[in-house]
Amino acid sequence: MNDKQHTIKAPVTVSGIGLHTGVQATMTFCPAPVGHGYQFQRMDLPDQPIVVADVDNVVDLSRGTTIEQNGARVNTVEHTLAALVGLQIDNVLIKLDGPEPPIMDGSSYQFIQALEDAGLEEQNALRNFYEIPDEIRFVDNGRAVELAALPLNDYRLTVMVDYNSPVLGSQHASLTDISLFKNDISSSRTFCFLHELEALYKQNLIKGGDLSNAIVVVDRVVSEDELSELATMLGKPKVAVKKEGILNNVDLRYKNEPARHKLLDLVGDLALVGRPLKGQILAARPGHAANVAFAKKIKKKMMEANSSPVPHYDPAREPVMDINQIMQVLPHRYPFLLIDKVIHLDETSVASIKNVTINEPFFTGHYPGNPVFPGVLQVEAMAQTGGILVLNTVPDPENYTPYFVGIENCRFRRMVKPGDTIIFRCWLLAPVKRGIAKMRGQAFVNGKVVMEAEMSAAIVRKEA
């Protein structure tokens, strides 16, 4: 799995008809900054409102997942989101001039082709994974549906479906590595059973449905009169079917294509959690309603974990900036460069690491025999961390120098000693104005706050 966030290098556009609305739409994927996530923008509506792809914004699950925010709806988002997750793209703005993304061929493959044509671009921030901490389970006994998420340092999914159908029978599909999504899952098309088709049509759905973008499973003998009615419903001169099989005798791309498509839908629906996941996902008879209910349980667990402000630090992960990259940005050098690596950086926040050792030069004269990391140097290390953040607000940070100009409400909570690893976290309290940034910072050791303060910094252009 990618360790750093990714966007796309350039905008790319696809067009087509929406599956359920039947409305022609153009959808443009656009690059987006670190931490942006997936957002849709309804370009056809007044003020062009944004709809964030978030499970809390789901408003309808009629044969697809519909989200709504700021008075705008976007229907059937799951295939689009699945393509983004499958390519491990984290940040994209999706501009849409209609109510629903194009259905294309009923899968995610054509979205993936377009995104790969645009090219992927690595960004200067680590991916904010949510790692499943313990078993999370959703059960709907009435529908014999069960989904579970288990801890795993990877993202794997297994889906089992049983349609009690002589055509499809019991099927399962697995994705053992997200990098296999493109080749193994993305081309699996949406489907429904013949007995569902008329009901969907009467519900004013599948207006854009066509035998070129959906599979219709026929699991009973169909009379010629019924076939004529189906042809009229689908706008076709004629449709045909074997005794039992697929309407118009369309060949399946895989024997278990329906199960693979259910896995595709699950990947797209779970994207609404809002963060890339690490875990083993097991699903029996999933559908959009169950997927979204499951995603809500995962997000609830995630938000409870986020109540702690301590940044997660995994020393095995590649940092956003190592010491050599830090020295390219900050003017400080030994013995006054006091941060070792940057582990998170976006437009409004930053986190860094300081490893405290007995070899620090100040320990020879600061409390000999009882070494304690000086509070003023903790403040300086936090200020250097904040300096990285404010320099990130200009396009050419190498031409600026950050200066620490103020401190308020500084408190030291616990002693810091050799062997401790300090995690510094700073975030902007307001947008940077006239080169002045107002920040709040905290320092943590072993998950506990050791120091906190509010700081002001100025960024000044270097003289030529």
Predicted confidence (pLDDT) at residue 249 exceeds the cutoff of 50: no
| 443 part of a folded domain | yes
| 385 part of a folded domain | yes
pTM over 0.85? The answer is no
**Tell me, what's the pLDDT at 243?**
47
* Residue 208 and residue 291 share a domain: no
* Residue 234 and residue 128 share a domain: no
* Residue 300 and residue 198 share a domain: no
Tell me: the pLDDT tens digits for 64-121? 899 999 999 999 999 999 999 999 999 999 999 999 999 998 899 999 999 999 999 9
* Residue 378 and residue 280 share a domain: no
**Which is more confidently placed, 168 or 204?**
168
Tell me: the pLDDT tens digits for 319-365? 999 999 999 999 999 999 999 999 988 888 899 999 999 999 999 99
* Residue 298 and residue 179 share a domain: yes
Write down the catalytic residue from 79, 261, 288, 344: 288
Q: How many CA atoms lie within 13 A of 329 on its CB side?
A: 26
**Tell me, what's the pLDDT at 239?**
53
| Residue 136 near residue 67, CB atoms below 8 Å | no
Write down the catalytic residue from 172, 312, 332, 366: 366
| 392 part of a folded domain | yes
| Residue 80 near residue 104, CB atoms below 8 Å | no
| 67 part of a folded domain | yes
* Residue 440 and residue 374 share a domain: yes
Nearest to 66 by CA among 104, 19, 14: 19
Q: Alpha-carbon distance 400 to 425, whole Å?
A: 22
* Residue 425 and residue 376 share a domain: yes
Sign of CA dihedral 88, 89, 90, 96: negative
Return left, alpha or beta for 181; rule: phi > 0 is left, psi -120 to 50 is alpha, else beta. alpha
Q: What is the span of the domain harbouring residue 388?
A: 323-461
Q: What is the mean pLDDT of the chain?
A: 88
Is position 288 annotated as part of the catalytic site? yes
| Total of domains in the chain | 3
Q: In the structure, what pLDDT confidence band is assigned to residue 240 with cuts at 50, 70 and 90? A: low
Q: What is the domain-level CATH number for residue 267?
A: 3.30.230.20
| 358 part of a folded domain | yes
Predicted confidence (pLDDT) at residue 40 exceeds the cutoff of 70: yes
**Tell me, what's the pLDDT at 89?**
98
| 157 part of a folded domain | yes
Predicted confidence (pLDDT) at residue 224 exceeds the cutoff of 70: no
Q: How wide is the angle at C-alpha 98 spanned by C-alphas 94 and 101, nearest 5°?
A: 55
Q: What is the domain-level CATH number for residue 408?
A: 3.10.129.10
Return left, alpha or beta for 397; rule: phi > 0 is left, psi -120 to 50 is alpha, else beta. alpha
* Residue 166 and residue 297 share a domain: yes
| 88 part of a folded domain | yes
* Residue 344 and residue 446 share a domain: yes
Q: In the structure, what pLDDT confidence band is assigned to residue 163 with cuts at 50, 70 and 90? A: confident
Is position 20 annotated as part of the catalytic site? no
Q: In the structure, what pLDDT confidence band is assigned to residue 47 with cuts at 50, 70 and 90? A: very high
| 313 part of a folded domain | no
